[in-house]
Structure 1
């Protein structure tokens, strides 16, 4: 199996240049990756670079902290879609979540989902910042908001995906929401373990040992 068929090649560093986006898109096309994930300012450029390919284009909104207000997230998401984004990634508002203001967190996620309609929405819950009970609560919010994916991490916190937490996610949401594991996955062996427990998408960055991926 070509693992890149479920891989999301990611370039979200604040120093990302146009050259980096060009290289990313060319690599994604060559490897037949599922998608690329980039910041919204580069969506229009990436759309041109991916034209004629099957590679999907994912744009972040309110990234990487999720603390922008809902209307700003909606505007950014709609603009990204107008510029060619096929999917939207948003970060759960951890400050509101840790304040146990779950109603506001749910409203934030739901309003973005309603605003983008049929466009898939991935919600990043930043699992390294949550205990087990909080992970379960975040899953319930995502279920209530009818999002399409839960994503483990931004890559900007103290840790990324873990097999233990991804198993909890899978058990909690069953097949009602898809799972995207990101950060901390650097080789084919690790990626295969996530695939074995049922993840639907795997996000990788430039640290991944692409030469080890079997065709």
Structure 2
């Protein structure tokens, strides 16, 4: 399948989550998101109000994380985080499920934790982060089914902070383990155009990455080269 630069940009949640980032670092990343016209940024909760203000009028949405990065905060705390994030202007929420509960076989507790966040979010998009590097295939399937049962909009591979990110086998498994109304997000290690396209071809509809400029810059360069040679339509690749 071929994708234009705009097609790919429309799938990107530009990640601005590293704990050491200064306000100047955050601003530089927000400006990259605006310049490349990505779908959204995913910022640290404390950065939401600033990101909303700086991105006003750009068309870039502001999302944030809940229970990040380990998923071990209480359900009540996650719900409180949701309320604060929405009050501050976030429009999408990427929550980490309780990984230890999932691996312990506490399916009812995991489902209830996700459902509480979904209900607190109302009409806002909720993506459930699994941290697939820690899970077996059976656990990934179970996480998919619990997330879908709880009403989540997306299942997502990784935080990017666990030493392992998205893989094609995991994305393929996740896509096969949820119904068509649940979308899949690949995050962690999405740093090149080839990787981004591979995940989109595998069924992802959203990509979490801090390498937006690299990915979209590659896409633009390929399209420009094709246009210069007249080899193909320059709108997609």
TM-score (norm 1): 0.96
| Bigger Rg, which one | 2
Structure 1 residues 64 and 168 mapped into 2: Cα distance closer, same or farther (>3 Å)?
A: same
Residue 206 (structure 1) shift: 4.2
| Paired position in structure 2 for 1:156 | 161
Q: Does 1:212 pair with 2:218?
A: yes
Structure 1, gaps ≥5 residues long: none
C-alpha contact (below 8 Å) 2:192/2:211 kept by paired residues: no
| Paired position in structure 1 for 2:95 | 90
Map residues 1-215 of structure 1 onto 2, 5 A cutoff.
Answer: 1-2=4-5, 3-206=8-211, 209-210=214-215, 211-214=217-220
Q: Which portions of structure 1, spanning 4 or more consecutive aligned residues, are displaced by more than 4 angstroms?
A: none
Distance in 2 separating the partners of 1:33 and 1:142: 26
Q: Can you list the C-alpha shifts for 1:6-36, whole angstroms capped at 9, x where unaligned? A: 1111011111211122111111111010110
TM-score (norm 2): 0.87
Distance in 2 separating the partners of 1:100 and 1:93: 11
C-alpha contact (below 8 Å) 2:67/2:96 kept by paired residues: yes
Q: CA RMSD in A?
A: 1.3
Residue 209 (structure 1) shift: 2.5
Structure 1 residues 23 and 91 mapped into 2: Cα distance closer, same or farther (>3 Å)?
A: same
Residue 208 (structure 1) shift: 6.6
Structure 2, gaps ≥5 residues long: 224-237
